[in-house]
Amino acid sequence: MRRAVNRMPLPMKDMSLSTFLKGAAIAGLMTLVISLVMVNIDWLGPVYSSEKEDIVTLLNVMIVLSSLVFSIVMVMMVYAIWKYRAKPGDESDGEPIHGNTRLEIIWTAIPTVIVIFAGVYSTIVLNDIEAKADNGKIMEVDVTAQQFAWRFDYPEQGVTSTELHVPVGTQLDLHLNALDVIHSFWVPEWGIKRDLVPGADLPGGDDIDDTVTVTPTEEGVFSVVCTELCGWGHATMRAAAVVESQDDFDAWAADQTKIPDEEDVSSGVPGGKGAGVFDDRDLTDD
Amino acid sequence: MVAALKNPGMPRAGLGFLIGGLFGFGLVVALRAVSGLEIFQTEATGYPHVIVPGITAPIGFLIGLGCFDYWFRWASGAPTIPDDHSQHGAYSWKDYFKFNTDHKVIGIQYVVTTFCFFMIGGLLAMLMRAELAQPGTQIVDPGVFNSLFSTHAAIMIFLFIVPVFAGLANYVLPLMIGAPDMAFPRLNALSFWMLPMAGVLFMASFLAPGGAFDAGWTGYAPLSTGAPLGQSFFNLGVQFAGASSVATALNFLVTIVTMRAPGMNFWRMPLLVWANLSTSLLVVGATPFIAGAQFMVLMDRAIGTNFFQAAAGGDVISYQHIFWFYSHPAVYIMMLPGFGIVSEVISTHARKTIFGYRLMAIALLGIVILAFAVWAHHMFVSGMFAWLRVPMMITTLLIAVPTGIKIFSWLGTLFDSKLHIESTSMLFALGFLVTFVIGGISGVMLGMIPLDIHVSDTYFVVAHIHFVLFGGSVFTIFCGFYHWFPKMTGRMYDERLGRIHFWMTLVGMLGTFIPMHWIGMEGMPRRVADYAAQFGNWNLVITIFSFILGVAQLIFVYNMVVSWRFGPKAGDNPWRAKTIEWLVSSPPPVFNFDEIPRVVGGPYEFGVPGARHAIMHDGDGATVSGPEPAVAGAASGGGGGEGGGS
């Protein structure tokens, strides 16, 4: 078979360099405007953790790159529609251009470079997010979810609570476990999220990545939101996340109930539909 | 009456359904009685006396309808009935309710049936949006709401988008490659009739105690393994839809590989054929995994296996791996045929050959290969082993490359063209370019782990999937409906109504799904019946636009139904397209071709003087049997001998 030869010298036969430059300028301007507007909008809501700050930077870089891609596509499309629209009654055909190897290589190679850049950059940000705190202040919290309630155990303080109280500026190592179905831990202001998987604490759950870290940077009261569908009460499965000063936290911890020796898992809100089934297969029976 | 129950057809199918159901029911009762168990076990995850008939009754229906008559006779050694072609062609509306082996009849059966499911799924979505218009609970309680989005997604995916592409291709593809029918016509008919069975099972779950399945279309274990009876109907329905899908894909593969007209080498296949070849490879490789996953859930539920019971040593997360090993390729199963449709439409209405045809075909195959190596990007926050995340992110991002090639090649096709944007199909193709680019961009963002950690399981994801599945798949489906409507019905639709439908759909779609990005990033999780008051205004806006979107589809239905009956005659080739289906009459003859066409060039040789894609009669061939124009030969890759062979 003969090698495909491009007989046509350019993909756009009658397009002059100045037209091309005008198009490029419009696409560039459009990118600039879209990027400036979009980067200045507070898409991700309040940024109250050091992890989320990295995510916001990454989003802004992606907004600029995406605006560029979107602008190029739109300018090409609108120009083509404006320029090459057939006159009424014109039944002739377009130019028999079958391709242009150089151009095809370009639009294969450039996106490849862009996505590999995006991949490498994301990996760096991911490593930053998951790095340990610089100041070494780390607090462990065991988070347990069940339909449709949260429980937070503080092994160092020896207390348990249905609210998540944390001192500001301290890195939290959250150990996640679920008693019935999969739930997911998310505080939108912190920007981190991880599923709570039933069986994570069992011997068979060693492969489950059940620890997530976050360093809250602002004081306030937020919501722990369940983001994995868990049944009829999913939409309202919330707990308060209170970020406070170290002193306030210590005072709070001193007031809380001690963790009972034998974990009483039957407390908490009973399940809805199918609850009986989950009781039969209580995962902490071992 | 007796004859009606003896011969294949709807009455016998009804009887078969009844007998099949009773047989399944009796089997369970008898076996439980013999085993000394209580006859009716009605735990939420039990009900064997409902589940087993859920398998046997549809099979009874299919037997009664006549899907297996030929095979049974052949297998038992009885003389087979010679084919008298009574199962070809449709001469009245009643013929569409029969076991019919004509690919064109099956194509219309598919398209009409799946569109009905589209309307049902759309109604469920309208109900959801009505509930979500305001914070709080107004219309449905949270449990029902969970059923609504689960059935909405299951119906849209398994009963509309996946099969409607199979339906369009069923009609068009054999014509396009110059084949008289699909390779296995009886299997083809069986594939279609399994779909209504899946639909009946999905809908029947609303009647089950505890309501319709409500664990999402993803059906994550262990929520699904502990859910009420409705979940079992989902597990079973997916089996029928999946079997239908796999059988059709095998049929397409064999048809495309073995039944192309003389002269149609791979580099002369229209891109729709390439797209369905690629899709079929994906279906055959991936769909068995969802069938397996749903069987495992069903077994956990009904017979006490412990695939996904952590306490019993099962592995909860493995469900997600198996599920997404199908369900990510499924996104491409739902998109690649649309790429094929858009290629046909853009080329035809731009009066120009597809720019970089070969790279377009290679990009499709590239997506097929990458599609099998990205599934875990749905699981970045699932707690799966952490090392898998970065490799899966890289492969995910790389999919943007072949997809980008396709977008830029379509745009390249528009340059130096003679663009006709009056026809609705071309409007949908151009609209698709806009919406799909946005969906692709949000897809790249979701592919990046740090961003995904924040927006995963939020409305951002809902926005993304709808930009891809509505702005992508559904736009291309409408594109295909409008493009081949004249071929299927022989009549022309009303372009003015088509344009109104397009613009309302585009505006409704953008207004519905763009704000979802914002509220998702701000903090609204997906799959919730209720939400924080701060999202109230945007949700009201979304609901209003979604109703515009819903009403627009009624215009489409009116246009199609009325035009089918009363539209002006369309002629054989209203779009002056080049591919083979336009060389035959509209609608095509029962056996497609009096003579098998001969393919002499590439599929889109617009503007090349004297170039033809195919010739129907040797008499015509005289004019093109000489040497082909050099450009045509170079582009189609078919240079050399085949073209000038006669």
Q: What is the DSSP string of B406-464?
A: HHHHHHHHHTT--B---SHHHHHHHHHHHHHHHHHHHHHHHHSHHHHHHHTTBHHHHHH
Nearest-angstrom CA–CA distance, B132 and B157: 22
Q: Are residues B70 and B105 in the same domain?
A: no
Q: What backbone phi and psi angles, to 5 degrees, belong to A78?
A: -65, -40
Q: B41-71 as b/e, with b when 16 or more CB fall inside 10 Å?
A: eeebbbbbbbbbbbbbbbbbbbbbbbbbbbe
Closest to B575 measured CA to CA, from B491, B480, B496, B483: B483
Q: Are residues B164 and B41 in the same domain?
A: no
pLDDT band at B55 (very low <50, low <70, confident <90, very high): very high
CATH of the domain at B121: 1.20.210.10
Contact of A44 with chain B, judged by CB distance below 8 Å, is answered with yes
Q: Considering only A203-212, B3-12, B615-624, which range has the smallest mean pLDDT?
A: B615-624
Contact of A227 with chain B, judged by CB distance below 8 Å, is answered with yes
- Asked if the structure places residue B574 within a domain, the reply is no
Q: Between A132 and B338, where is the model more confident?
A: B338
Strands A171-178, A211-214: pairing is antiparallel
Among candidate residues B566, B582, B613, the one where a domain is terminated: B566
Chain A residues with CB under 8 Å of B405 CB are 104, 107-108, 111
Q: Are residues B373 and B500 in the same domain?
A: yes
pLDDT tens sequence across B541-574:
999 999 999 999 999 999 999 999 999 999 999 9
Strands A171-178, A138-146: pairing is parallel
Hey, what are A125's tokens? Answer: 């940000």
Hey, what are B4's tokens? Answer: 């009606």
pLDDT at B626: 39
Chain A residues with CB under 8 Å of B228 CB are 273-274
Q: Where are the beta strands (DSSP E) in chain A?
A: 138-146, 149-154, 159-161, 164-167, 171-178, 183-187, 192-196, 211-214, 220-226, 238-244, 257-258
Contact of B633 with chain A, judged by CB distance below 8 Å, is answered with yes
pLDDT at A95: 86
pLDDT at A94: 87
Contact of B41 with chain A, judged by CB distance below 8 Å, is answered with no
Contact A209 B640 (CB under 8 A): no
Contact of B643 with chain A, judged by CB distance below 8 Å, is answered with no
Q: Mean pLDDT across the stretch B413-436?
A: 94
**Number of neighbouring beta carbons within 10 Å of residue B392:** 21
pLDDT at A14: 58
pLDDT tens sequence across B190-200:
999 999 999 99
Q: Considering only A220-224, B415-419, B507-511, B639-643, which range has the smallest mean pLDDT?
A: B639-643
Q: Taking 80 as the threshold, does the pLDDT of residue B11 lie above it? A: yes
| Contact by Cβ (8 Å): A240, A224 | yes
Q: Are residues B294 and B219 in the same domain?
A: yes
Chain B residues with CB under 8 Å of A73 CB are 407, 411, 433-434, 437
Q: Mean pLDDT across the stretch B202-213?
A: 92
pLDDT tens sequence across A166-214:
999 999 999 999 999 999 999 999 999 999 999 988 887 888 999 999 9
| Partners of residue B615 on adjacent β-strands | B598
Q: Taking 80 as the threshold, does the pLDDT of residue B643 lie above it? A: no
| Contact by Cβ (8 Å): B172, B255 | no
Contact of A233 with chain B, judged by CB distance below 8 Å, is answered with yes
Instruction: For residue A96, give the chain B residue with the closest CA.
Output: B607
Q: B298-320 as b/e, with b when 16 or more CB fall inside 10 Å?
A: bbbbbeebebbbbbbebbbbbbb
Nearest-angstrom CA–CA distance, B80 and B75: 10
Task: Look over chain B and give the mean of its residue pLDDT values, rounded to a whole number.
Answer: 91
- Asked if the structure places residue B249 within a domain, the reply is yes
Q: Are residues B408 and B505 in the same domain?
A: yes
Hey, what are B372's tokens? Answer: 């099998």
The two most distant CA atoms of chain A are separated, in Å, by 87
pLDDT at A42: 85
Contact A80 B411 (CB under 8 A): yes
Q: Taking 70 as the threshold, does the pLDDT of residue B306 lie above it? A: yes
Contact A227 B458 (CB under 8 A): yes
Q: Are residues B211 and B244 in the same domain?
A: yes
Nearest-angstrom CA–CA distance, B325 and B467: 22
Q: Are residues B55 and B159 in the same domain?
A: no
> What's at A4, amino acid-wise?
A
Strands A183-187, A159-161: pairing is unpaired
Q: Mean pLDDT across the stretch B41-49?
A: 84
Nearest-angstrom CA–CA distance, B53 and B82: 34
Nearest-angstrom CA–CA distance, B315 and B511: 41
pLDDT tens sequence across B94-137:
889 999 999 999 999 999 999 999 999 999 999 999 999 999 88
Nearest-angstrom CA–CA distance, A97 and B415: 9
Predicted-complex ipTM score? 0.88
pLDDT at B642: 37
What are the domain boundaries of chain A?
A: 17-84+99-130, 138-261
Q: What is the DSSP string of A148-184?
A: TEEEEEETTTTEEESSEEEETTPEEEEEEEESSS-EE
pLDDT at B622: 43
Closest to B607 measured CA to CA, from B584, B632, B637: B632
pLDDT tens sequence across B365-378:
999 999 999 999 99
Q: Taking 90 as the threshold, does the pLDDT of residue B25 lie above it? A: yes
- Asked if the structure places residue B578 within a domain, the reply is no
Report which DSSP code applies to A198: B
Contact of A278 with chain B, judged by CB distance below 8 Å, is answered with yes
In sequence order, the 6+-apart residues with CB closer than 8 A to the CB of B247 are B187, B188, B190, B191, B194
Contact of A244 with chain B, judged by CB distance below 8 Å, is answered with no
Give the 3-state secondary structure of residue B239: helix
pLDDT at A9: 43
Q: Are residues B34 and B105 in the same domain?
A: no
In A126-155, the residues whose Cβ lies within 8 Å of chain B are 126, 129
| Contact by Cβ (8 Å): A254, A155 | no
Question: Going edge to edge, which strands form the sheet with A220-226?
Answer: A164-167, A238-244, A220-226, A183-187, A192-196
Distance of residue A136 Cα from the nearest chain B Cα, in angstroms: 23
Exposed/middle/buried for B383, CB within 10 Å: 0-12, 13-18, 19+? buried
Q: Between B624 and B412, where is the model more confident?
A: B412
Distance of residue B242 Cα from the nearest chain A Cα, in angstroms: 24
Q: Are residues B482 and B337 in the same domain?
A: yes
pLDDT at A281: 37
- Nearest beta carbon to residue B223 from set A44, A196, A230: A230
pLDDT at A262: 52
Domain A138-261 matching CATH 2.60.40.420: the answer reads yes
pLDDT at B596: 87
pLDDT at B140: 92
Nearest-angstrom CA–CA distance, B435 and B441: 10
pLDDT at A7: 42
Q: Are residues B448 and B520 in the same domain?
A: yes
| Contact by Cβ (8 Å): B438, B372 | no
Q: What backbone phi and psi angles, to 5 degrees, belong to B134?
A: -130, 150
Closest to B299 measured CA to CA, from B48, B580, B605: B48
pLDDT at B198: 96
Closest to A13 measured CA to CA, from A82, A71, A98: A98
Q: Mean pLDDT across the stretch B594-600?
A: 90
Q: Are residues B68 and B107 in the same domain?
A: no
Each residue's pLDDT tens digit in chain A (286 positions)?
Answer: 344 444 444 455 556 788 888 888 999 999 999 999 988 888 888 899 988 888 899 999 999 999 999 999 999 999 999 999 998 888 888 888 888 889 899 989 999 999 999 999 999 999 988 887 777 788 999 999 999 999 999 999 899 999 999 999 999 999 999 999 999 999 999 999 999 999 988 887 888 999 999 999 999 999 999 999 999 999 999 999 999 999 999 999 998 888 776 554 444 444 333 333 333 434 443 3
Q: Mean pLDDT across the stretch B65-69?
A: 92
Contact B215 A108 (CB under 8 A): no
Exposed/middle/buried for B535, CB within 10 Å: 0-12, 13-18, 19+? buried
Nearest-angstrom CA–CA distance, B93 and B114: 17
- Asked if the structure places residue B586 within a domain, the reply is no
Q: Are residues B53 and B168 in the same domain?
A: no
Instruction: For residue A279, give the chain B residue with the closest CA.
Output: B226
Q: Mean pLDDT across the stretch B489-508?
A: 96
Its domain, for residue B55, covers 2-76
pLDDT at A1: 38
Nearest-angstrom CA–CA distance, A100 and B484: 30
Task: Report the number of distinct structural domains present in chain B.
Answer: 2
Q: pLDDT over 70 for what percent of chain A?
A: 85
Hey, what are B479's tokens? Answer: 């594109």
Number of A:B CB contacts under 8 A? 336
